[in-house]
A and B are shown apart, each in its own frame.
Chain A
């Protein structure tokens, strides 16, 4: 039993209950909506950032009426016969542009000193969909700096309130110390009292953070990610929930940073424990598997792009028209 959904003119059969976003990810390519808060490995995530909004032009075979508003593709399940427009809808493109502007509204744009730069979802989103200038003429929001321990660095000004780290603490670790405090645009990630976010799996909040709000303190200001070389490695970790499969980030002979392995959507393949992440920074701790493949679009791959064929774009004239700019950029590469 599967249901058929058409996204930007491309049809696919998926399991019932699949979200539009995940159906799009099964198709792949440019028609996949960007997602800043949804995280497939975290239950209840998604729906908040609104970057993945799409237009449902036909609800289903049974009820073909279009949905009245744009919907969050990460939290809307497909129906049989549903037709969705993402990059073929000017309305969606316009709304997404607005969301990007809004996400960047109070963002400090301190990329030059941010450790996340180069692997930042917000940076990529801004590059793909944003405008060169903001229309916001007021002081950007600031927060009182707080220290959440010697492992994790919190920069609240960069946070987009995706709630991923909260879900991670709830679902992956045994105890949650931080949370969302206050309301509205004063909301902040905090521990309220001076407490360190520290337990076996707490480091995973770094990997799930789409921006530079939570970064690895042990890697702080050590290097730019695009100067480091990612290598897959594993070790025999004795933590019951950790398989010890990681990516080591080398500068010369030195391991500067350890992260979980991330897929093409920036999601970790498996969560790792804090011992693997923070305490094992010698090559001798690890069994090296080989270089980590990083998307050819990533700045981390600068100067050594792999050519990846363009699976979707060439076969879909509607899409080519709608996505001319992207198509040209891809072709140039």
Chain B
């Protein structure tokens, strides 16, 4: 049984209220940081913890904080990225719904560390219920003296506001988020300058994911070194994994980084295997943007080592035979799922969500969607696969923001690993609209068919 750092008290009735949260040791990190530590010491603890950004990119949080410019007389901002929109990911929704004070507590400690006097939580607009929950939690915390002027008599002032988005995946990109927070279209900014130098309103700004900020709480409570003991290598601490798709028990699980993927998928403590007694065909391990892997490559790396839920192990093999941790959106596909259809679905998503600012993404995503649509509906050509790979290459790396890469990778990886299924859609066009290609050979060597049904 892994140790829970974020979700330890998730099942305590009323943990979403201030009083219960406080009675379970909540806001101890605020007291510890504000009363006994300097902002620099808080940053140092986060650096020591090895915490890596939980939003997808996996950039070390402490290092990001230390890049923040601190010119005299200029405001600094902390903005929490709660624009969770990556298909497959729903951990931030879960955390904000059930234990909102953990995020508020993390925001206070992090804002203190960065010297922010006003901080914003940018929540995607569709999460109006969560916005109401957070606003209530903020009011409670303020009422108890943890927000506002002169917090706990330490002289530190902080105002915390919740900002709703308007419905745009692109606002999960930090500079698009800042544009949106300034009341503009969510067009990502051209970098440099990075937000650490010129972010919100042109002031130095740090943008962190909900889970990253929540993780600051146990880091301060237990110390960065304690946190770093959990996990494996440079993947320290715990991570929330959103398990969805055809797993038996979908939901949000907190795991120690380094957990074997096989255990995560098949153990009853976590996903409990594939639903309806079916076999696993493929996995998207970190949200729709990361490369899809067939079951055989997922469980074992190319060197035949068991794959682990860690940044390094999931990426083992690069884009040839590996994938990425991403935001921890774990989607399992059973043998009845069609990879072509899924790739088309994802590409439609990116086409729909492209902001349209730079040309490769604006035009390329639409092009890929149209080609995939025709493949899925049985009108494709055998040359379409090479065309798709080429278009994805023309997008990848050539765009303003990572959405271009995120749109290109699922297509390129699906064709890399499931080319026979794409070809079957061309050669058996009429059949492809009514029947699924099935498992073919890529589920090998996994005889999980006879898993006992719990």
Contacts and interface: CB of A to CB of B under 8 A. Distances in A.
Q: Do A and B bind each other?
A: yes
Contacts of A10: none
Given A72-B190, A98-B394, A138-B370, A187 B359 contact: no
Nearest to B361: A184
Contacts of B354: 183-185
A103 interface: yes
A26 B280 CA distance: 59
A46 interface: yes
B69 interface: no
A95 B190 contact: no
A22 to B, nearest CB: 16
A303 to B, nearest CB: 35
B37 interface: no
A60 to B, nearest CB: 13
Contacts of A160: 359
B360 A102 contact: yes
A114 B403 CA distance: 34
A180 B168 CA distance: 16
A150 to B, nearest CB: 29
Interface string A182-209: 1111110000000000000000000000
Please indicate which of the listed interface residues A95, A101, A136, A185 has the most CB atoms of chain B within 10 Å of its own CB.
Answer: A185
B356 A135 contact: no
B398 A70 contact: yes
Contacts of B394: 95, 98-99, 101-102
Interface in B374-426: 387, 393-394, 397-400
A188 B95 CA distance: 38
A89 interface: no
A108 to B, nearest CB: 14
A178 interface: no
A34 interface: no
B185 interface: yes
A106 B357 CA distance: 15
- The contact size tier of chain B is 20 to 34
Interface in B314-368: 351-360, 362-367
A183 B169 CA distance: 12
A47 B356 contact: no
Interface string A105-143: 110000000000000000000000000000110100000
A47 B358 contact: yes
A256 interface: no
Given A47-B400, A48-B400, A135-B387, A183 B355 contact: yes
B358 A50 contact: yes
A185 B366 contact: yes
B362 A49 contact: no
A99 B361 CA distance: 10
A3 B356 CA distance: 35
Nearest to A47: B190
A50 to B, nearest CB: 6
Given A50-B399, A70-B398, A135-B387, A161 B356 contact: yes
A69 B408 CA distance: 15
A53 interface: yes
B367 A136 contact: yes
A50 B397 contact: no
Contact of B359 (A135, A161, A182): A161
A332 B377 CA distance: 51
Contacts of B192: 77
Contact of A105 (B190, B351, B363, B400): B363
B213 to A, nearest CB: 28
A245 interface: no
A122 B397 CA distance: 23
A76 to B, nearest CB: 8
A75 interface: yes
Nearest to A91: B397
A48 B370 contact: no
A102 B359 contact: yes
Nearest to A102: B363
Nearest to A179: B185
Contacts of B359: 48-50, 99, 102-103, 160-161
Contact of B362 (A46, A136, A187): A187
Contacts of A46: 190
B398 A161 contact: no
Interface in A49-78: 49-50, 53, 69-70, 72, 75, 77
A160 B358 CA distance: 9
Interface string B182-214: 000100001010000000000000000000000
B356 A102 contact: no
A106 B359 CA distance: 11
A161 B357 contact: yes
A330 B341 CA distance: 50
Contacts of B398: 50, 53, 69-70, 95, 98-99
Contact of B356 (A101, A105, A136, A184): A184
Contact of A183 (B190, B356, B358, B363): B356
Given A72-B400, A180-B185, 14 more contacts: A47-B400, A69-B398, A72-B190, A99-B394, A99-B398, A101-B394, A135-B387, A161-B356, A161-B359, A183-B168, A183-B185, A185-B351, A185-B356, A187-B362
Question: Closest 10 CB pairs between A and B?
Answer: A98-B394, A47-B190, A187-B356, A184-B354, A184-B356, A102-B363, A185-B366, A69-B397, A105-B363, A138-B370
